[in-house]
């Protein structure tokens, strides 16, 4: 009996062992080819710098201010540009200070002669606090100190586009000018004698740079078809 039963028991075990095996992996589907990309027509703008010098100093002229004024409101933006004095300016003032002291019962009068001197050196940087146009002239009010009350006026003939902004002052003196003494002007509310070397009065420079570019615009025509109406 044992010999007849063994073959019967062996068959289920054999098929059970086969059933426990790892099933084969399903075939990987072939990749679907992506559609060809559509051609996109874009306008390409290329800017090629031709000449780019570093910042330089140029005499301020009505033409330069006119060009800046095409893109900026100079009435409110004039203080954003760097100005530089060309030429040395020397201001002098003389006055007497008087005081009375009591020295052991004796009235003592003391007179002190004060000589004040202010120098604004050549190439001193300044900012324009205001700009005005009057009597055919454009006037810039430029400050070279921390206190806004100390301003010098520079003016140019508005219609003469290449004219310089020279220092404004009163050349009329009680006596003839001697040496470098040229005239008088008001500075910070006080009157000073003006001195500068030579016959050419100081004028203003402006710090600027210029960059010239070439702009190349490229575009490819896509073509255009006639639109036809559908037949009924």
Do 89 and 194 touch, CB atoms closer than 8 A?
Answer: yes
19, 207, 69, 39: which is closest to 125 by C-alpha?
207
Q: Are strands 137-143 and 151-157 parallel, antiparallel or unpaired?
A: antiparallel
DSSP string for residues in 141-197? EEE-SSSTT-EEEEEEETT-TT---EEP-B---SS---TTEEEEEEETTEEEEEE-S
The domains of the chain are located at 54-166+174-214
Residue 9 in tokens: 């028991």
Per-residue pLDDT of the chain (232 residues; tens, 9 = 90+): 444 444 444 444 444 444 445 556 666 666 666 665 555 444 444 444 444 445 789 999 999 999 998 888 888 899 999 999 999 999 999 888 888 888 777 888 888 888 999 999 999 999 999 999 989 999 999 999 999 999 999 999 999 999 999 999 998 654 455 668 899 999 999 999 999 987 789 999 999 887 778 888 888 998 888 888 765 5
pLDDT at 177: 56
pTM for the model: 0.65
Do 205 and 86 touch, CB atoms closer than 8 A?
Answer: yes
Give me the phi and psi of 223, to 5 degrees please. Answer: 85, 160
């Amino acid at each position: 009996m044992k010999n007849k039963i063994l073959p019967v028991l062996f068959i289920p075990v054999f098929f059970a062992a086969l059933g426990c095996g790892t099933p084969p992996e399903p075939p990987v589907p072939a990749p679907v080819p992506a559609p060809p990309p559509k051609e996109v027509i874009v306008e390409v703008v290329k800017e090629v710098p031709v000449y780019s010098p570093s910042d330089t100093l140029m005499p301020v002229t009505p033409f330069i201010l006119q060009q800046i004024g095409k893109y900026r409101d100079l009435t409110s933006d004039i203080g954003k540009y760097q100005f530089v004095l060309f030429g040395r300016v020397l201001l002098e003032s003389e006055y007497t200070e008087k005081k009375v002291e009591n020295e052991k019962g004796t009235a003592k009068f003391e007179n002190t002669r004060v000589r004040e001197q202010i120098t604004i050196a050549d190439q001193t940087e300044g900012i324009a606090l205001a700009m005005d146009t009057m009597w055919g002239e454009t006037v810039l009010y430029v400050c070279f100190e921390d206190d806004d009350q100390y301003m010098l006026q520079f003016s140019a003939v508005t219609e003469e586009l290449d004219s310089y902004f020279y220092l404004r002052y009163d050349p009329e003196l009680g006596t003839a000018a001697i040496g470098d003494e040229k005239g008088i002007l008001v500075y910070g509310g006080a009157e000073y004698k003006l001195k500068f070397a030579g016959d050419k009065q100081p004028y203003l420079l402006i710090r600027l740079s210029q960059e010239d570019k070439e702009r190349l615009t490229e575009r490819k025509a896509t073509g255009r078809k006639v639109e036809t109406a559908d037949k009924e």
